[in-house]
Amino acid sequence: MNILVLGSGAREHAIARALRASALTDELFVAPGNGGTGDVARNVAVNPMDAAAVLQFARDSDVRLVVIGPEAPLVAGVGNALRDAGIAVYGPDQGGAMLEGSKEFAKQFMETNGIPTASYATFDALEPALTYVREQGAPIVVKADGLAAGKGVVVAETLEDAEDAVRACFDGAFGDAGAKVVIEECMRGPECSMLSFVTQGRSFPMAPSQDHKRAYDGDTGPNTGGMGVYSPVPIVTDEEMSTMVDIMARAAAATGADEEARDYRGTLYGGFMLTEDGPKIVEFNVRFGDPETQVVLPRLKSDLGEVMLAVAEGRADDIALDWSDDWAVGVVLASEGYPGAYEKGDVILGIEDAEALPGVTVYHAGTARNADGELVTAGGRVLTVVGTGATFEQARETAYEACDLITFRGKQLRRDIGKKALQGRSAWE
Ligand code: AMP
Ligand code: GLY
């Protein structure tokens, strides 16, 4: 079959590479793609947010399955438009996407379905929100209700920071996303992501993974889209693992029954915090994680094309997942200045040498080809360099060895991805 993947990150490169290896794939397209997806698929200049253009391309190119990578088109209902036209879609409808598109909706969903999460209150006016913050005291978490590209969350350690964050939301710092504000209890503990294939109200969990959100070593500096990741997660106990699997199953069952989130077909991403009272949900996302996907999919031995088609067509009984025992560690190479302003157009060298090392795969995000055909930087997060190995240490060493072979001006990376996990649980205390 012909498959179209929407998106342009390292996540979509990882999805495209896994689909390229599928027995079901004939032609593979990525819209708009990046400098790496063009090697495994055909990049097409279609805007993922333009439902009519996506539908037109899918029809013209005989596409049977569309895989929607990022949240924005899902929340905008691009999936609905394609499904209504009879095309199989991997990714939830607009109703299901509200689990990520509205934090208030997600909190109500968790409350209704007995899913453990931080206690919260929602406000649409400044004064009551400030009063509530003062009553609760710091630390406290302030979130813009809508999609704010990962920037709408402030974990406030002081009352002053919390009040500033509330004011910023209502002053329009996050546009419409901040018209409503969700204020949450501050949870403590290591974070852990569990992605799950969901269809017909059933959950098929993937291996757990752990992101590193801060820009610099030692979990310092500003929040980013994610600077490094590994899978599986050695500090998770068997008991925590089974609680997370249960929570994902409960969430999936509710998406099969809930009026607004009905018939969810795609990835449900559980962002967990492993608290003293057990795993609790920090947030749901309605898509694969980035960079989580880059360490989770290489460990999937099953045919991703078959799994995605079964999810999209609502054939839960046909899904069986087989995982490799290998460990995977992914390190993000970013442009100098990221997550702030950065330059583009710097030549990237050494990817072939890096990929010649056993167990190394390099996923592209912000890359492009210049007029001379050279690979150049074109975004904040440039590459995710993944090393796999029989042990965590080996995977980590391989990833860093590969990182050192790749050069571009201003290359920025964290040197401590996975370090805390090697130290054990006490590293979080
Ligand atoms: P979100 O955009 O909801 O994933 O939040 C971004 C990050 O903020 C999370 O990955 C956590 O590190 C942190 N965070 C969000 N909610 C809470 C909470 N209730 N307690 C502590 N940290 C939180
Ligand atoms: N790695 C965090 C996310 O994909 O939302």
Taking only the tens place, the pLDDT of each residue in 43-101 is 999 999 999 999 999 999 999 999 999 999 999 999 999 999 999 999 999 999 999 99
Strands of the 266-275 sheet, one edge to the other:
202-205, 191-199, 266-275, 278-285
Token pair belonging to 216:
């610099």
Q: Whose CA is nearest to atom 3 of ligand 2?
A: 289
What is the rounded CA–CA span in Å between residue 287 and residue 67?
10
- Model confidence at 262: pLDDT above 80: no
Query: Could you give the percent of the chain with pLDDT greater than 90?
Result: 88
The angle at the Cα of 417, spanning 413 to 421, to the nearest 5 degrees, equals 170
Q: Whose CA is nearest to atom 4 of ligand 2?
A: 289
Beta strands in 117-190 (DSSP E): 120-123, 140-144, 153-156, 181-185
- Banded model confidence at residue 223, pLDDT cuts 50, 70, 90: confident
- 153 or 369: whose pLDDT is higher? 369
- pLDDT tens readout for residues 146-172: 676 656 788 899 999 999 999 988 887
Beta bridge partners of 331: 228, 385
Ligand 1 center to 302 CA (angstroms): 32
- pLDDT tens readout for residues 181-218: 989 999 999 999 999 999 999 999 999 999 999 999 99
Provide the terminal-to-terminal Cα distance of the chain, rounded to the nearest Å. 50
What is the rounded CA–CA span in Å between residue 136 and residue 144?
18
Ligand 2 within 6 A of CB of 210: no
| pLDDT value at residue 384 | 98
Highest mean pLDDT among 134-148, 252-266, 397-411: 397-411
What is the rounded CA–CA span in Å between residue 84 and residue 236?
41
What is the rounded CA–CA span in Å between residue 249 and residue 202?
6
- Model confidence at 144: pLDDT above 90: no
What is the rounded CA–CA span in Å between residue 91 and residue 287?
7
| pLDDT value at residue 260 | 59
| pLDDT value at residue 178 | 61
Give Cα separations from 72 to 68, 94, 354 (angstroms): 9, 10, 33
- pLDDT tens readout for residues 10-43: 999 999 999 999 999 999 999 999 999 999 999 9
| pLDDT value at residue 173 | 73
Average predicted confidence (pLDDT) for the chain: 94
What is the rounded CA–CA span in Å between residue 154 and residue 162?
8
Which residues approach ligand 1 with their CB closer than 6 A?
Answer: 118, 141, 150, 153, 155, 184-187, 191, 213, 271, 282-283
Beta bridge partners of 28: 3
- Model confidence at 362: pLDDT above 90: yes
- Banded model confidence at residue 259, pLDDT cuts 50, 70, 90: low
Token pair belonging to 151:
């920037």
What is the rounded CA–CA span in Å between residue 285 and residue 265?
13
What is the rounded CA–CA span in Å between residue 14 and residue 346?
23
Mean pLDDT value of segment 98-120: 93
DSSP H helix total and E strand total for the chain: 15, 22
Token pair belonging to 125:
């006016």
Mean pLDDT value of segment 325-330: 97
| Ligand 2 atom closest to 226 (CA) | 1
- Model confidence at 261: pLDDT above 60: no
| Ligand 2 atom closest to 11 (CA) | 4
